[in-house]
């Protein structure tokens, strides 16, 4: 039984405030729901108003435009998937996986123009005018392109899952310097220097600002190359800008695979896309011979991480989030699935691969040589994105009613204009 004594003023005030708050929350459901959006702040929240305005003036407004990734759960195989193929991350293997899945499930694929490696006018942001064939929507993307979610939403269904792959920045830089040693910007900046990866790495990273010049074509290969492919400005070292873009990525990509834990990444991808083991089996593409690899010592590694600050933060963040996903999946379950996956991998390699042979034009790169009279499965497994792309191009033109081939000459002229316009700093 409640006492008849009067309540102290403090308790009366507390009750009034509590009642007012309850009434307010029922009348403001939007504000209530925004508190459960997740632990990472959305991109715009990292900027002050002045910073946001400045970035927008410079063409660097957040890409997402309110986009939020599809929920991780799936009940059937995801058939709308974009894979962003970043450079020198083992992504050629992933391209084969994507194109093979599209082939076996009779899906449409956004392909580069004939005789082009990159899609959509790379290094410009992906441009739907430079995709073949011309279709209202596509199911699968699996080539090199420069990411832009607004442009992709014009050609991909709302249910699309976005994935990409990144690599330890030190290993990525070493691979970039080795693979592009005979191309820009390195043949310009390091002209006359022996094409020795170790020598060039040490020369460049002794004083990168001495060489780095945004007026040189393909300058972005020398700083935060992964960050560039994902669609961001590689030259901004500002912490708030980098953090905002990483948060934006986290709200866009269903999964960021790690080259350094490739098989574990594929096991996780299989789960998140509800695919089968046969969909993610692979053979290795474009392996460098051991003699072509350069050991990066600790002092040089520190210089690389400092110069490639955005890529370093990018990798650190998604390395941590990946292992959180593994924890949620269950480490024992991951270990069991990984063992099964490796067994299936070995069976496929024993069935299909005779040996690994050097490429004619790049003898420091090895490619798979199939056994005699390979099965269709083995031929598909070993097909590069170029070969597989042409096969899928012919398949789509012969099977999709009403599509016509574009004017190749006009498209190539447009590609040249768009791509060359993005080679240098604007």
Domain boundaries, the chain: 79-420
The residues pairing with 310 across neighbouring beta strands, listed in sequence order, are none
For a pLDDT cut of 90, what percent of the chain falls above it?
72
Q: pLDDT at position 363, please?
A: 79
48 vs 345, residue with greater confidence = 345
Q: pLDDT at position 361, please?
A: 76
What angle separates helix 309-329 from helix 169-179, to the nearest 10 degrees?
Answer: 120
Quick one: which of 375, 258, 278 has its CA closest to 323?
258
Task: Please state which CATH number belongs to domain 79-420.
Answer: 3.40.50.300
Distance from chain centroid for Cα 50: 30
Name the residue with tokens 């099964």. Answer: 340
Q: What is the average pLDDT across 56-69?
A: 54
Task: Inform me whether the pLDDT recorded for 47 exceeds 60.
Answer: no
Q: What is the average pLDDT across 132-142?
A: 97
269 vs 358, residue with greater confidence = 269
373-386 confidence digits (pLDDT tens): 999 999 999 998 89
When the pLDDT of each residue in the chain is averaged and rounded to a whole number, the result is: 85
253-283 confidence digits (pLDDT tens): 999 999 999 999 999 999 999 999 999 999 8
Q: For residues 259 and 143, give the distance between their C-alpha atoms in angstroms, rounded to a whole number.
A: 17
- Within 8 A by CB and 6+ apart from 118, the residues are 112, 143, 144, 145, 419
176-214 confidence digits (pLDDT tens): 998 898 899 999 999 999 988 899 999 999 999 999 999
Q: What is the average pLDDT across 352-377?
A: 87
3-state SS track over the chain: CCCCCCCCHHHHHHHHHHHHHHHHHHHCHHHHHHHHCCCCCCHHHHCCHHHHHHHHHCCCCCCCCCCCCCCCCCCCCCCCEEEECCCCCCHHHHHHHHHHHHHHCCCCECECCCCCCCCCCCCCECCHHHCECCCCCCCEECCCCECCHHHHHCCCCCCCEEEEEECCHHHHHHHHHHHCCCCCCHHHHCCCCCCCHHHHHHHHHHCHHHHCCCCCCCHHHHCCHHHHHCCCCCCCCCHHHHHHHHHHHHCCCCEEEEHHHHHHHHHHHHHHHCCCHHHHCCCCCCEECHHHCCCCCHHHHHHHHHHCHHHHHHHHHHHHHHHHHHHHHCHHHHHHHHHHHHHHHHHHHHHHEEEEEECCCCCCEEEEEECCCCCHHHHHHHCCHHHHHHHHHHHHHHHCCCCCCCCHHHHHHHHHHHHHCCCCCC
């Amino acid at each position: 039984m409640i006492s008849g004594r009067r309540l102290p003023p403090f308790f009366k005030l507390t009750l009034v405030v509590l009642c007012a708050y309850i009434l307010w929350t029922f009348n403001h459901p939007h504000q209530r729901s925004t508190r459960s959006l997740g632990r990472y702040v959305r991109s715009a929240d990292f900027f002050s108003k002045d910073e946001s305005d400045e970035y927008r003036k410079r063409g660097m407004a957040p890409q997402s435009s309110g986009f939020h990734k599809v929920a991780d759960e799936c009940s059937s195989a995801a058939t709308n998937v974009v894979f962003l193929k970043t450079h020198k991350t083992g992504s050629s293997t992933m391209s084969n996986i994507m194109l093979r899945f599209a082939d076996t499930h009779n899906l449409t694929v956004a392909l580069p123009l004939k005789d082009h490696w990159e899609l959509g006018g790379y290094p410009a942001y992906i441009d739907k005018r430079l995709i073949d064939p011309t279709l209202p929507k596509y199911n699968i993307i699996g080539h090199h392109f420069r990411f832009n979610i607004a442009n992709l939403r014009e050609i991909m269904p709302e249910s699309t899952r976005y994935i990409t792959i990144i690599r330890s920045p030190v290993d990525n830089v070493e691979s970039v310097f080795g693979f592009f040693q005979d191309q820009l910007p390195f043949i310009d900046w390091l002209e006359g220097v022996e094409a020795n990866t170790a020598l060039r790495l040490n020369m460049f990273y002794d004083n990168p600002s001495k060489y780095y010049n945004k007026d040189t074509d393909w300058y972005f290969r020398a700083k935060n190359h992964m960050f560039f492919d994902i669609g961001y400005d590689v030259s901004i070292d500002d912490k708030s800008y980098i953090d905002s873009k990483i948060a934006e990525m986290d709200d866009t990509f269903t999964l960021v695979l790690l080259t350094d834990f490739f098989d574990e990444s594929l096991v996780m991808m299989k789960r998140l896309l509800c695919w089968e083991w046969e969909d993610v089996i692979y053979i290795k593409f474009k392996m460098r011979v051991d003699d072509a690899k350069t050991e990066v010592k600790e002092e040089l590694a520190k210089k690389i991480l400092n110069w490639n600050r955005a890529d370093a933060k990018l990798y650190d963040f998604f390395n941590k989030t990946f292992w959180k996903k593994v924890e949620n999946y269950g480490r024992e379950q991951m270990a069991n699935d990984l063992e099964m996956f490796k067994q299936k991998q070995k069976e496929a390699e024993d069935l299909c691969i005779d040996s690994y042979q050097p490429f004619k034009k790049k003898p420091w790169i090895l490619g798979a040589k199939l056994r005699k009279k390979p099965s269709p499965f083995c031929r598909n497994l070993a097909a590069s994105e170029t070969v597989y792309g042409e096969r899928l191009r012919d398949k789509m033109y012969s099977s999709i009613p009403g599509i016509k081939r574009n004017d190749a000459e006009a498209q190539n002229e447009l590609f040249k204009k768009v791509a060359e316009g993005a080679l240098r700093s604007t």
